[in-house]
């Protein structure tokens, strides 16, 4: 990727330095800064949905409570724990990469991918369960009792927000798999492991989105029951 | 004072290896990571979309020649103005200056070899083209008739045109803007040449930094809004459908949260271009450099607080209307400061009337009119009457066409020697600038009168008493159309037959003028070290750098 | 063509290595917090239950950002970026919500 | 082609004079600054044109005082625009209490107008001169916008809720009605005429108009037809709240909230009954969404308004009602009343 420079430099430039940067330090600094700016765009991307959630929950409080009660709280809490676990393994992966321990890096990357897969598995089970109970919004939506319209709005937001989050999980697992392959080939060293780091930032962000989705969608009106 | 007198007596020879002749062939262009080549890719695609949008503009004006609207059916006319809006806003005005001039110049202006993420930069162009493909597909297959604003519940329930492909086109192109903005922010923060502090940066870089803030903070919100419209339209769920509990006004909040800052995305880069042209052609340090720089960032930040002035009569509460109105007046102040500072820069200068300066002077005049008519729309009492009428159309065309397009053309002419290494034909360029100025005013000034008379926008047929003013407007549009074709012709001609321009034909300051024209692939032989204030014209003896 | 790298703040999260002990501590705290928020949701606090749930979520998110994402050891610029993002989210939420809340406060005509 | 085209719109309402005054104030200030900037640019371009390549102008960095001057002055002028505009806007959103009630339903590509005493018009609106008229508007499909340029009045018509606007015509004549929010294929044909009539002509128009039943009596018919009275009966064992004298009265909901019963509350309780359940009642009322159209709801609302008063008097006469306890107080926040002011039933019309 880095093309050799014509002029003989007093010290050989590190192989991973891209030509437009002066030093590896500047390159990694820019990459991390760039990822944080991307995370800001993600915050505002999810922000649109959180705004719709806030407005409609303010208008249809009762309906949202009735919808939230339909959720399987055990699955939700378990999923939150799974994702927090995957954040830990991701942080350990970055930690091992920084220490140059390749085997530990591979182990933790694999663990993170596995936990991510588990999360998606639980979501899949929940989704099929809701669909079976005719809770998928749209023409097929059926909900006994009052406030059917508000409950449908709750499920519209539930499926859109958790669906978008799941999509980000799938992309995250794709990134971690490529990292796994690159790490397997020994691409990362103690000096150059920036891709692992910025993928970690992305993964932790997706975990934080779930940390907010869980209480907002699963825990409303539990006491009402 | 004929044009020939300024030219260097001996024609400078073409520099050995520059970014244009270092590699040839389609692969060298389609897989390039050189920010200068990517800028030229953008130049070609942005020009293509400009003339598509321009074509539909002419069709609209032709249709409005007659009150009965008997050139095309209502359905077709609705598609004309929708496609004109979408193509011009998302595929020309938003990307034009940042992606063409910004991509080309920012690395050179900050003394870097390239942007921070060259591969993301190329990806940004491919994403832009993919989005463009979706939109072209929608146009060819029958077009979309929701207006570029996609208001619900019409766009989600009632329209039977190709809403989803057009919406996807905009959704995808949004990511191209995000990548460009992200690239600029990281590069300006992390890759400035040694000694180049923030207040030694050219004002163009300040303007594009502010624009990038809006790219990064605003575009994601339009992306999620378009996604929600697409989900609602395909799965019949109720985000914005009143029958299912949704609220159409919520769509307007989400839409305008991005779309008002988007109009600052369109004007801020043009302001940056003017802040470069006026000092160069007045040969004077810009008056109030820091105020112009701070004004750019202030516009970007305040621009996010005012979106409600699009919704004064749309069912938004009275109190929210009051708050958004006072904030809208605050956002007008930085623009006023800039206009006063540009004019003050010309005071006591040595002003050359070359084409870029003509465009800049035209910009200052027309942007002032555009900005002041914005105050009419910001004051609640008058907006109730003129909202959604041709007064609004005239206002934003004075800003977009009188401002952004004049700024873009001025910038293209100003940096053309640096991009192509050639000089464009000066007399023809001045003639084109004057034609554009006249055609523009004849097209859009009558629309202010039509607006206050109450002619609503997006009308396929209108009452008879509005016809004469519409005929004036259509006449102006045809002049404007000719005016825009001229630069296309003589700039392309100059690529081949123009005289070599040398490194600094205008005697301008700025790092980009210290390297050769066209610049080498890595911009500078040796990364420059900056040790002087920007726009330092008054250094004695250094009259003009030759070749 | 080498020259001394231009002065930069300590690299963003790159070089600093956080001890494993800290990671485990944060991990356990997060688990406890999750259990707490689920438990609290069964107690009827009226409107306060949402406030508590959000407070716990924000606390968990801050832990993840500070330790797992190395914000604690990152330069000031990175904090500014995240702060800016959250502030803009607040503009979107408060700006729109203020319209919905104030729709009911109409200036009732007394003329 | 009509060559005698106007350059300024008719001025036919009380609001028009205020809006035009502000418009001319804005126009003069804008013209002044535009001409000033244009003149300075041209003058400097000529006065300081480049005479020789060697001349290098002095380096002027700027002046703080000048910057402050052209920040503070524009800010002051801008705020003057704001306050004047805001004052007009607030009065535009305060319909007078004795305004004539007109109900407008926007439907893809036509305006259906209903007067309180039964007249129905399509794309036409007959109003008396020098009398405030309050419009209560809703849409059956997409967003429309009721715009009368001559009155300087415009209001979006949003489906799913009521929007109110008002005007007081000051000059007899026929003026344009436009739809100003893009609403589909025939958006430009969704136009009409408002005819402002002298009082005498208005009375003869009223008399000569449709002989059909008044809005309230049409509502009574619908009320019976949908068997609403099985639950909503004045006697004690009624399962639904008593509707007599409901309009304008304070209603306590099951979740402790209180709100003033107005058109929006009545409309929502018909279309989405479980949204706001009156304290002490069960959510057993079925939804009538899709069964009763917007006009039907307007008729039912007019009927409910006429309940709890001696049998409905003549079309003009608004029989005195008991002064609603809250009178002009601002309703408690959270009660989703329509965009415009909820009209209070005040003193009868003399």
In this complex, which of C43, C61, C97 lies closest to A208 when CB atoms are compared? C61
Which chain B residues are Cβ-neighbours of A19 within 8 angstroms?
113-114, 522
Q: CA-to-CA distance for D299 and B250, rounded, in angstroms?
A: 29
Give the mean model confidence (pLDDT) for residues D170-198. 94
Indicate the pLDDT class of residue B359, thresholds 50, 70 and 90. very high
Segment (H or E) for B190:
helix B163-190
**Minimal CA–CA distance to B172: which of B145, B201, B207, B136?**
B136
Segment (H or E) for D111:
strand D110-115
Indicate the pLDDT class of residue D315, thresholds 50, 70 and 90. very low
Neighbors of chain D with 3 or more C-beta pairs under 8 Å: A, B, C
pLDDT at B431 over 90: yes
Which chain A residues are Cβ-neighbours of B193 within 8 angstroms?
none
Q: CA-to-CA distance for D332 and D316, rounded, in angstroms?
A: 31
Q: CA-to-CA distance for B429 and B511, rounded, in angstroms?
A: 26
Dihedral of CA atoms B378, B380, B382, B383 in degrees, nearest 10, equals 70
Neighbors of chain C with 3 or more C-beta pairs under 8 Å: A, B, D
D9-47+95-212: CATH topology is Immunoglobulin-like (2.60.40)
pLDDT at D338 over 60: no
Q: CA-to-CA distance for B179 and B197, rounded, in angstroms?
A: 24
Joined together, the tokens standing for residue B243 give 């029958």
Rounded to a whole number of angstroms, the distance from the CA of B349 to the nearest CA of chain D is 5
Residues 6+ apart with CB under 8 A from D120: D112, D113, D114, D210, D212
pLDDT tens sequence across B373-391:
999 999 999 999 999 999 9
Output DSSP code: residue B15: P
**Do C27 and A13 make contact, defined as CB atoms within 8 angstroms?**
no
Neighbours of A56 (CB within 10 A): 23
Number of residues written out for chain D: 350
D245 and C CB contact within 8 Å: no
Residue percentage of chain D with pLDDT more than 90: 47
D261 CB-side CA count, 13 A = 24
Count B/C contacts: CB-CB distance under 8 Å.
47
Q: CA-to-CA distance for C6 and B532, rounded, in angstroms?
A: 17
CATH 2.60.40.420 in chain D: give the residue spans.
Answer: 9-47+95-212
Count A/D contacts: CB-CB distance under 8 Å.
9
Indicate the pLDDT class of residue B240, thresholds 50, 70 and 90. very high
> What average pLDDT does the structure give for chain B?
92
Which chain B residues are Cβ-neighbours of C3 within 8 angstroms?
194, 527
Q: CA-to-CA distance for D2 and C90, rounded, in angstroms?
A: 54
Rounded to a whole number of angstroms, the distance from the CA of C111 to the nearest CA of chain A is 32
Q: Closest-CA residue in chain C for A32?
A: C12
Which chain A residues are Cβ-neighbours of B183 within 8 angstroms?
34
Query: What residue segments make up the domains of chain B, in order of their start?
Result: 34-513
Give the mean model confidence (pLDDT) for residues B134-150. 93
Give the mean model confidence (pLDDT) for residues B127-155. 94
Residue ranges of chain A with per-residue pLDDT less than 70: 1-12, 224-225
Give the burial string for A20-45 (b: 16+ CB within 10 Å, else e): bbbbbbbbbbbbbbbbbbbbbbbbbb
Rounded to a whole number of angstroms, the distance from the CA of C103 to the nearest CA of chain A is 12
The predicted pLDDT at position B160 comes to: 85
C51 CB-side CA count, 13 A = 5
Number of residues written out for chain B: 547
**Do A30 and B217 make contact, defined as CB atoms within 8 angstroms?**
no
B447, B525 contact by CB (below 8 A): no
Neighbors of chain B with 3 or more C-beta pairs under 8 Å: A, C, D
Lowest mean pLDDT among A217-221, B80-84, D52-56, D333-337: D333-337
Question: Rg of chain C over CA atoms, in angstroms?
Answer: 22
In this complex, which of C13, C42, C88 lies closest to A222 when CB atoms are compared? C42
| pTM of the predicted protein model | 0.90
CATH code for B34-513? 1.20.210.10
Question: Rg of chain B over CA atoms, in angstroms?
Answer: 23
Give residue B434's Cα distance to chain centre.
20
Which chain C residues are Cβ-neighbours of A84 within 8 angstroms?
27, 30-31, 34, 60
> What average pLDDT does the structure give for chain D?
83
pLDDT at B7 over 70: no
pLDDT at B539 over 90: no
Indicate the pLDDT class of residue D291, thresholds 50, 70 and 90. confident
**Minimal CA–CA distance to B220: which of C110, C7, A41, D8?**
A41
C46 and D CB contact within 8 Å: no
The predicted pLDDT at position D234 comes to: 76
Give the mean model confidence (pLDDT) for residues D131-140. 94
**Do A149 and D272 make contact, defined as CB atoms within 8 angstroms?**
yes
Domain spanning A48-224, CATH architecture: Up-down Bundle (1.20)
Q: Closest-CA residue in chain B for D144?
A: B314
Is 1.10.10.10 the CATH classification of the domain at D215-306?
no
B423, B499 contact by CB (below 8 A): yes
A215 and D CB contact within 8 Å: no
Which chain B residues are Cβ-neighbours of D85 within 8 angstroms?
325, 378-383
DSSP 3-state assignment of D157?
strand
**Minimal CA–CA distance to B470: which of B125, B30, B40, B62?**
B62
Residue ranges of chain C with per-residue pLDDT less than 70: 1-15, 106-111
Give the mean model confidence (pLDDT) for residues B263-281. 96
In this complex, which of B243, B381, B465 lies closest to D5 when CB atoms are compared? B465
Which chain D residues are Cβ-neighbours of C103 within 8 angstroms?
336-337, 339
The neighbouring-strand residues paired with D157 are: D144
In this complex, which of B257, B308, B318 lies closest to C92 when CB atoms are compared? B257
The predicted pLDDT at position D311 comes to: 41
Give residue C85's Cα distance to chain centre.
10
pLDDT at D301 over 50: yes
Indicate the pLDDT class of residue B497, thresholds 50, 70 and 90. very high
Give ipTM to 2 decimals: 0.90
A217, A161 contact by CB (below 8 A): yes
The predicted pLDDT at position B17 comes to: 82
Residues 6+ apart with CB under 8 A from D68: none
The neighbouring-strand residues paired with D136 are: D103, D164
Q: CA-to-CA distance for D52 and D63, rounded, in angstroms?
A: 27
pLDDT at B1 over 90: no
What's the CA angle centered on B15, arms B14 and B18, to 5 degrees? 115
Rounded to a whole number of angstroms, the distance from the CA of A172 to the nearest CA of chain C is 16
**Minimal CA–CA distance to B240: which of D261, D11, A51?**
A51
D283 and A CB contact within 8 Å: yes
Question: Which residue in this structure is represented by tokens 């006004």?
Answer: B249
Lowest mean pLDDT among A79-88, A179-188, B47-56, D303-312: D303-312
* DSSP letter for each residue of D196-218: EE-HHHHHHHHHHS--S--HHHH
Residue A70 burial class via C-beta count within 10 angstroms: exposed 0-12, middle 13-18, buried 19 and up: middle
**Do B379 and D149 make contact, defined as CB atoms within 8 angstroms?**
no
Residue percentage of chain B with pLDDT more than 90: 84
The predicted pLDDT at position A8 comes to: 40
């Amino acid at each position: 990727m880095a093309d050799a420079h014509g002029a003989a430099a007093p010290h050989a430039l590190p192989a991973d330095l891209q030509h437009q940067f002066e030093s590896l330090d500047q390159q990694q600094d820019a990459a991390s800064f760039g990822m944080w700016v991307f995370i800001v765009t993600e915050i505002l991307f999810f922000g649109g949905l959180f705004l719709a959630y806030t407005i409609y929950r303010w208008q249809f409080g009762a309906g949202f409570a009735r919808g939230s009660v339909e959720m399987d709280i055990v699955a939700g809490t378990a999923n939150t724990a799974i994702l927090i676990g995957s954040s830990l393994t991701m942080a350990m992966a970055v930690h091992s990469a920084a220490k140059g321990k390749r085997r530990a890096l591979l182990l933790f990357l694999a663990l993170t991918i596995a936990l991510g897969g588990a999360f998606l598995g639980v979501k899949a089970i929940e989704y099929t369960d809701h669909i079976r109970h005719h809770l998928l919004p749209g023409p097929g939506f059926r909900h006994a009792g009052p406030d059917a319209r508000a409950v449908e709005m709750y499920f519209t937001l539930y499926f859109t927000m958790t669906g978008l989050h799941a999509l980000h999980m799938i992309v995250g697992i794709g990134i971690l798999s490529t990292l796994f392959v690159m790490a397997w080939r020994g691409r990362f060293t103690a000096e150059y492991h920036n891709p692992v780091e910025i993928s970690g930032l992305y993964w932790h962000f997706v975990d934080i989105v779930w940390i907010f989705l869980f209480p907002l969608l699963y825990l409303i009106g539990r006491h009402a029951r | 004072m004929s044009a020939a007198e300024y030219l260097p007596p001996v024609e400078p020879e073409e520099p050995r290896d520059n970014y244009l002749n270092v590699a040839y062939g389609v692969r060298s262009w389609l897989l390039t990571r050189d920010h200068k080549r990517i800028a030229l890719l953008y130049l070609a695609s942005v020009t293509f979309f400009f003339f598509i949008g321009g074509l539909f503009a002419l069709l609209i004006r032709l249709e409005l020649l007659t009150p009965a609207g008997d050139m095309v059916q209502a359905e077709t006319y609705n598609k004309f103005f929708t496609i004109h809006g979408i193509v011009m806003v998302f595929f020309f005005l938003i990307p034009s200056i940042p992606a063409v001039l910004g991509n080309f110049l920012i690395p050179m202006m900050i003394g870097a070899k390239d942007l921070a993420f060259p591969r993301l930069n190329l990806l940004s162009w491919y994403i832009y083209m993919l989005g463009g493909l979706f939109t072209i597909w929608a146009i060819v297959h029958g077009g979309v008739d929701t207006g570029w604003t996609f208001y619900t519940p019409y766009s989600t329930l009632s329209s039977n045109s190709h809403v989803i492909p057009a919406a996807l086109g905009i959704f995808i192109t949004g990511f191209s803007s995000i990548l460009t903005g992200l690239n600029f922010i990281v590069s300006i923060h992390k890759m400035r040449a040694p000694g180049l502090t923030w207040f030694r940066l050219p004002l163009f870089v300040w303007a594009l930094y502010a624009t990038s803030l809006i790219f990064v903070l605003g575009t994601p919100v339009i992306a999620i809004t378009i996604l929600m419209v697409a989900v609602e339209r395909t799965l019949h769920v109720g985000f914005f459908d009143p029958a299912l509990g949704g609220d159409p006004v919520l769509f307007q909040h989400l839409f305008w949260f991005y779309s008002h800052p988007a109009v600052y995305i369109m004007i801020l880069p043009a302001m940056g271009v003017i802040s470069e042209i006026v000092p160069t052609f007045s040969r004077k340090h810009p008056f109030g450099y820091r105020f112009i720089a701070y004004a750019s960032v202030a516009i970007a930040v305040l621009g996010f607080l005012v979106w409600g002035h699009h919704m004064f009569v749309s069912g938004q509460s009275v109190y929210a209307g009051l708050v958004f109105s006072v904030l809208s007046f605050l956002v007008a102040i930085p623009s006023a400061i800039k206009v006063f500072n540009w004019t003050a820069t010309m005071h006591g200068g040595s002003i050359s009337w070359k084409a870029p300066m003509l465009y800049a002077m035209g910009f200052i005049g027309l942007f002032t009119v555009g900005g002041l008519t914005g105050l009419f729309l910001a004051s609640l009492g008058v907006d109730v009457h003129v909202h959604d009428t041709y007064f609004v159309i005239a206002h934003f065309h004075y800003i977009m066409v009188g401002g952004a397009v004049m700024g873009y053309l001025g910038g293209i002419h100003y940096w053309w020697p640096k991009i192509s290494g050639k000089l464009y034909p000066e007399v023809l360029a001045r003639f084109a600038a004057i034609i554009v100025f006249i055609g523009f005013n004849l097209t859009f000034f009558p629309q202010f009168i039509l607006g206050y008379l109450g002619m609503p926008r997006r009308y396929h047929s209108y009452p008879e008493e509005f016809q004469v003013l519409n005929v004036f407007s259509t006449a102006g549009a045809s002049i404007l159309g000719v005016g825009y074709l001229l630069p296309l012709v003589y700039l392309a001609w100059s690529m081949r037959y123009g005289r070599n321009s040398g490194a600094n034909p205008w005697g301008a300051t700025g790092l980009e003028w210290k390297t050769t024209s066209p610049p080498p692939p890595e911009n500078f032989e040796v990364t420059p070290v900056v040790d002087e204030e920007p726009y330092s014209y008054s250094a004695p003896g250094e009259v003009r750098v030759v070749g | 063509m080498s020259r001394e790298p231009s002065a930069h703040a300590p690299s963003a999260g790159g070089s600093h290595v956080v001890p494993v002990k800290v990671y485990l501590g944060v991990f356990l705290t997060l688990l406890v917090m999750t259990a707490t928020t689920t438990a609290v949701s069964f107690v009827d606090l009226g409107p306060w239950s949402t406030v508590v749930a959000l407070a716990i979520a924000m606390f968990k998110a801050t832990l993840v950002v500070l330790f797992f994402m190395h914000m604690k050891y990152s330069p000031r610029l990175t904090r500014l970026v995240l702060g800016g993002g959250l502030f803009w989210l607040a503009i979107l939420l408060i700006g729109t919500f203020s319209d919905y809340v104030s729709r009911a406060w109409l200036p009732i005509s007394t003329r | 082609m009509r060559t005698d085209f106007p350059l300024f719109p008719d001025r036919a309402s009380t609001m028009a004079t205020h809006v035009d005054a502000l418009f001319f104030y804005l126009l003069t200030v804008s013209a002044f600054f535009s001409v000033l900037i244009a003149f300075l640019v041209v003058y400097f371009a000529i006065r300081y044109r480049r005479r020789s390549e060697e001349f290098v102008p002095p380096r002027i960095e700027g002046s703080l005082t000048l910057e402050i001057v052209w920040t503070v002055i524009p800010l002051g002028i801008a705020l003057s625009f704001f306050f004047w505009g805001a004052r007009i806007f607030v009065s535009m959103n305060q319909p007078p209490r004795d305004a004539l009630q007109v109900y407008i339903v926007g439907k893809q590509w036509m305006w259906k107008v209903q007067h309180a005493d039964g007249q129905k018009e399509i794309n036409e609106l007959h109003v008396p001169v020098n009398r405030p008229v309050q419009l209560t508007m809703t849409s059956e499909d997409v967003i429309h916008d009721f715009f009368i340029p001559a009155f300087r009045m415009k209001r979006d018509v949003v489906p799913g809720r009521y929007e109110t606007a008002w005007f007081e015509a000051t000059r007899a004549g026929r003026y344009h009605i436009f739809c100003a929010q893009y609403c589909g294929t025939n958006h430009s044909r969704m136009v009409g005429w408002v005819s402002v009539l002298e009082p005498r002509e208005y009375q003869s128009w009223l008399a000569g108009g449709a002989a059909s039943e008044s809005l309230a009596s049409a509502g009574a018919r619908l009320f019976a037809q949908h068997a609403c009275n099985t639950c909503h009966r004045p006697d004690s064992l009624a399962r639904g709240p008593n509707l007599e004298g409901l309009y304008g009265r304070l209603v306590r909901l099951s979740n402790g909230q209180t709100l003033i019963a107005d058109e929006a509350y009545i409309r929502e309780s018909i279309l989405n009954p479980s949204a706001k359940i009156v304290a002490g009642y069960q959510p057993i009322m079925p939804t009538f969404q899709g069964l009763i159209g917007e006009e039907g709801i307007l008729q039912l609302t007019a009927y409910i308004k006429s309940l709890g008063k001696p049998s409905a008097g003549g079309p003009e006469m608004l029989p005195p009602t008991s002064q609603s306890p809250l009178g002009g107080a601002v309703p408690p926040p959270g009660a989703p009343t329509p965009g415009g002011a909820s009209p209070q039933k005040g003193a009868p019309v003399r």
